[in-house]
Chains A and B, each alone.
Chain A
Amino acid sequence: MYLGRVAGAVALFLAATLITHAAPGPAATNTACAGPPALAAALKAHPTTENTITQGSWFAQHEQFSCAAETFRAGIKRDAGSAQLHYLYALALVAQKQIPAAVPELQKSIQLEPNALNPHLLMASLYAGADKQVEAAEEWQKVLAIDPKNEQALDGITGMMIDHGDYADVVKLLGPNHRTEKLAIRLSQALALMNDFGHAEGVLKDGLEANPHSVQLARALSVILVHQKKPDDAIAVMLKAVQEHPSDIVAAVDLYRLYILIGHLQEAATMESRLLAARPHDRDVLYLSGIIERSAGHYEQAKKLLEESVAIDPEFFYTRYNLGAVLVILHEWQEAKVNLEKAIALGIDQSEVHYELAKALNALGEHDRAQEELAKYQKIKIDSEKHLEADVAVAQADAALDAGHLEEAVTSYRQAVHAMPDSAYYHYKLSVALHKHSDFADEKTELQEAVRLNPKLASAQGALGFLLSREGDVNGSIEHFRVAVQTTPQWTDAWINLAAELAMSAQYTEARQAIAAALQLDPKNDRARQLNDQLSHDPNAQQAHP
């Protein structure tokens, strides 16, 4: 992830250089950094900020980041008040993975020009890379305060929301906005994660209407269509994308993968030789082709392709598994065992690998271990069945709840909880129905179980905090609201509730901080403003004010 951030920053850097005019031939500032003589001469003759940027950007464009950094650093010495120079210097440092040195430069740039977007974006990116989510979100919020439609900020902040499971907030944030290709994909992702595949499909189709040649949108739509069990539609979408972009091998690989997923192997087979020729060392192409060959009964060829794929990426467990399965067919038991055990060690979650391993172990005379693997297979299957059973019950319960059939909803949610007692989310859903049913005692029990199972389930923490507040348990309530805002810093209501409970217990300083956080997230929030006013006018709170 860190390297991903750096790579992103470099891309940003290169993009930034395009902002400046790309004058040919800037001069180097020292002998080790040999740039175009004309640029060096210009800088020497006229050591202006503009010439510095031109020279440094040339180095950056040619991936001579240390030279770029040196150029910008020298420029800052001449013009310490240039926000852009501080920013570009920071970029050059980031490109060299000198993050700690880059941060103060960025801060300086922001201080000098608070409304410039790129420094905030880079800073957010660095924070995100360092897993400082609150700080990253703050930076993205600053960008959005300047440019509410900024794609990068929206993308960054919604990505974080999705990581936190705040799918509804993503929909809320992106729904009314003009959506770019990237944001349409993000929105569809959030909708899909809320199981709202219909709307996700609509968003992507709208996106494709606006950007009819977008391969990324086509890819995303094909995935949604697969989820909606419309495989033929998914193929049609990707096939069109591939026909429109015949040189786009990545799209072709996607189609190839899709064909195999759906079981259209004849069509996939027609692509095999072309893709193998175009991407002979592509892990996925080798893997998928291995599957094609196995299906055709060409086990030796399948083995060869899968072995090549494993050689490229020994840690990809699906290849290990498929290679192991082919080796089982070939009765190469020992090698099969090795690959299947490796797939398991790498974390494959398919039950079938245990079955294949059991076959290999049995053939090798390791009968007890074979039985163990079969037992694992069966356990995974049973768990999967329970999961599905619970999903069906929850879907029924959701429908009943929507229809106002509370008792039926409670019964179905209870079935789901019975099938999957370890699902914090299902305990939470049951608690919601119980709340509507005014069964507060059971609601509390379910919420307590939900947060015990998953302390990061912010919605349950918030609901439990609310319930305890109603019971007069201020300390308990504060505890749960605190966890709620820690796990979901973007949840305005949780901040407000926390602030209210803190104020109730006369912890005014922290209450003010909480309400400030709420107002930062939603400056127009009536409840937050009202509470803020109350805190401002409460003499006790004022006394406690430092």
Chain B
Amino acid sequence: MTKDPLLLPHWTRRKLLSAASVACASAAFPRILSAAEPNALEEPATAAQKPFSTFVDVSQSAGLKAKMVYGNPADNTFIFEVMGGGCAFFDYDNDGWMDVFVVGGTLLHGNPPDASNRLYKNNRDGTFTDVTKQAGLWDCGWGVGVCVGDYNNDGFEDLFITYYGQNKLYRNNGDGTFTDVTEKAGLIHEGIHFGAGCTFVDYNRVGYLDLYVSNYVEIDKEHGPKPSLEIPNCNYKGVPVNCGPLGLKSYQHFLYRNNGDGTFTDVSKESHVAAMPGSYGMTAVGYDVDDDGWPDIFVASDMMPSLLLLNNHDGTFREEGMLRGIALSPEGLEEAGMGIGIGDYDLDGRLDILKTHFQEQAAGLYHNTGHGQFEDAAATTGIATERRYVSWGAGIVDLDNDGYPDIFWVTGNVYPQLEHLHPQYPYAGPRLLYRNNGNSTFTRVLDGKAGTALDEHHPSRGCAFGDFDNDGDLDILIMNQNEPPTLLRNDAPKGNNWIKIRLEGTKSNRSALGATVLARYNGKTQAQALLSQTSYVSVNDPRLHFGLGGATSADIEVRWPSGRVEKYPAQPANRLITIREGKGVVPGRPFAKA
């Protein structure tokens, strides 16, 4: 019994102290500007002196004009109205030019006639043609993510799309069309799932791509909680908003084994995936995280520990995200993991991880210290100071070809109602670009120095990096909710060299997904992984792009998903080379500039 006349202040104080402890240990906390912390807004002279890329929004002129319907942009009700969607650069017709796929949604009350996912064929002249209907991909639903892989090893990339509803597998028929083979492939699931992340990954190394699917939350739109000040987690900063994910049930994730005959078997249970802690799963990436030659899976999780599924080499996985330092903030707090970028920002030959988070949380940049151990270097690299925006699609990509991978991510709020009361949290957000200073720190590129398109605000989600015009640099495709997608053409500075690597598996899966490529140049080693999904539920150009700076050649090492390692020394710069597993460099698809 307490009879202290100052009961409330004491109660208050305890609560405050408790909360303070949490808040102070929060992911956001160490990211706040401080004297000790490198601040990417302060531009070092060295970075400022060198020219950087300029990005030009060519969406309209390129023909990417269809608005991506996605929920009510003014006053949404459910969380599934705000989570999609991803986008992809992929060459569906094998003509050597990156086509574009964008995942769309619908509206809560009725399907607008123009609501669908979209496939745009690259016309090889800087423009695209919407071929969604002729390709058989017209579909209206709550699409979320996309992953690409040649699951039947026929040489044509197939599509898997996650939905709030029923996920779908589209087989590429090789003639410019796709067929929904979800049922035939055995991928129909019971009831409504909120599929989010997905990745094709040959987890058992038999040469066929298996499929991992992460689920977000369980929500029933008939009976689910709605925005309310009375219901926990249905309001934010005093504003009723869509509920969740906290307070909603998480759902298990799934692993489907490819039977090699066009069908899949749910092996979630025997692989131990089903028994792992539930999480609000988002983007999933599949590659060899711990350098043991077997593909692992990393899943960004929203407000729960992110999951690192390490391959036990026997058809099972174990989850070690927390022990490896990539599940939580350095202080042990959950972060709202959305997007994942995989790359080697410090050129030590190891794949680091960028993970984007919610507003008031800094992005995580997990430095790979070897053997699958990570330490969050966001604060020391200087990217932690920006935390105003909900952040999504992201990449560790060398945009200016100087040989040092930069960092880019897109933003957009999930609560359109918020900005009316709190203008500091705008619904539409900018694109954030951090230039690699070459010394394990980054400088934010601001004030139109990389083109005004980056400063424009959009409610963005997925983004993908790829060279749509085959001019030797990485362009950026962005999915914006209720707007057409953005295509940012990269006009990289002259004088820097580059090399692109395209892989074709033979013993490995045909797409070579999960392969790691090391490029050695200028005394540095840069690692990249070939991923079925990355960024925010999106897909990058499968031609791995290495900026080389002044180097005119690079030594290439390929670590195939089969475990085979091949080395290709002194590959000349400024070209695409195609490497077939066990066969070496082979003539590939055409690579001609638009």
Contact = CB atoms under 8 A, between A and B. Distances in A.
Contacts of B249: 389
B328 A355 contact: yes
Contacts of B331: 325, 352, 356
A55 interface: no
Interface in B1-58: 1-9, 11-13, 15-26, 28-30, 32-37
Given A189-B7, A295-B29, A322-B24, A226 B19 contact: yes
B225 interface: yes
B37 A296 contact: yes
A188 B247 contact: no
B592 interface: no
A297 B25 CA distance: 12
Contact of B21 (A4, A318, A378): A318
Nearest to A163: B1
A266 B233 contact: no
Contacts of A399: 228, 230-231
B243 A392 contact: yes
Contacts of B24: 260-261, 291, 294-295, 322
Contacts of A8: 5
A230 B237 contact: yes
B332 A297 contact: no
B360 interface: yes
B23 A262 contact: yes
Contact of B30 (A162, A295, A411): A295
B307 to A, nearest CB: 12
Nearest to B239: A229
Given A296-B37, A297-B34, A358 B9 contact: no
A148 to B, nearest CB: 19
Nearest to B6: A216
Contacts of A219: 8-9, 12
Interface string A319-361: 0011001000100000000000000000001111111101000
Contacts of A325: 25, 331-332
Given A318-B18, A350-B21, A296 B8 contact: no
A389 B36 contact: no
A395 B20 contact: no
Contacts of A198: 229
B425 to A, nearest CB: 12
Q: How large is the interface on A (under 10, 10 to 19, 20 to 34, 35 or more residues)?
A: 35 or more
Contacts of B21: 291, 318, 321-322, 350
A182 B230 contact: no
A101 interface: no
A349 B26 CA distance: 16
Nearest to B231: A395
Nearest to B11: A189
B20 A260 contact: yes
Contact of B12 (A220, A265, A358, A408): A220
A210 interface: no
B586 interface: no
B235 interface: yes
Contacts of A349: 18
A381 B304 contact: yes
B32 A391 contact: no
B9 A163 contact: no
A296 B36 contact: yes
A226 B9 CA distance: 13
Given A4-B3, A133-B1, A396 B231 contact: yes
Given A374-B322, A381-B304, A263 B379 contact: no
Given A186-B8, A220-B8, A395 B230 contact: yes
Contacts of B19: 226, 261
A297 B249 CA distance: 36
Contacts of B332: 325, 351-356, 377
A45 interface: no
Given A229-B235, A298-B36, A377-B322, A398 B230 contact: yes
B284 interface: no
Contacts of A188: 8
- Which of A4, A269, A295, A358 lies at the interface centre, i.e. has the most chain B CB atoms within 10 A of its CB? A295
A411 B222 CA distance: 13
A40 interface: no
B246 interface: yes
A322 B21 CA distance: 8
A228 to B, nearest CB: 6
A230 B237 CA distance: 5
Contact of A131 (B1, B237, B304): B1
Contact of B5 (A182, A260, A266): A182
B570 interface: no
Contacts of B238: 228-230
B234 interface: yes
Contacts of B29: 263, 265, 291, 295
Contact of B233 (A220, A222, A321, A388): A388
Interface in A272-323: 284, 287-288, 291, 294-298, 318, 321-322
A126 B173 CA distance: 87
A445 to B, nearest CB: 24
Contacts of B330: 329
A128 interface: yes
A350 B13 CA distance: 16
A101 B554 CA distance: 94
A220 B9 contact: yes
B248 A162 contact: no
Interface stretch (A152-160, A481-489, A493-501, A538-546): A152-160
B225 A265 contact: no
A322 B25 contact: yes
Contacts of A381: 304-305, 334
A287 B30 CA distance: 16
Contacts of B229: 198
B2 A1 contact: yes
B112 interface: no
B315 interface: no
Contact of A350 (B6, B22, B305): B22
A395 B235 CA distance: 13
B12 A128 contact: no
Contact of A392 (B6, B9, B232, B323): B232
A396 B334 CA distance: 26
A10 interface: no
- Which of B18, B21, B29 lies at the interface centre, i.e. has the most chain A CB atoms within 10 A of its CB? B21
A159 B20 contact: no
B37 A288 contact: no
B340 to A, nearest CB: 21
B7 A162 contact: yes
Contacts of B8: 185-186, 188-189, 219-220, 223
B250 interface: yes
B14 to A, nearest CB: 10
A64 B246 CA distance: 59
Contact of B246 (A131, A223, A385): A385
Contacts of B15: 223
Contacts of A396: 225, 231
Interface string B323-337: 100001011111000
Contact of A388 (B1, B33, B232): B232
B232 A297 contact: no
A291 B34 CA distance: 13
B590 interface: no
Shortest 7 CB-CB contacts between residues of A and residues of B: A352-B332, A355-B332, A296-B34, A395-B231, A297-B36, A392-B247, A223-B12
12 contacts: A159-B5, A163-B2, A223-B8, A229-B235, A258-B16, A261-B16, A291-B20, A295-B32, A358-B322, A389-B247, A389-B249, A395-B232
Interface of B: 1-9, 11-13, 15-26, 28-30, 32-37, 223, 225, 228-238, 243, 246-250, 277, 304-305, 322-323, 328, 330-334, 360, 379-380
Given A231-B237, A295-B32, A350-B18, 6 more contacts: A229-B235, A257-B17, A297-B30, A378-B277, A381-B304, A395-B230
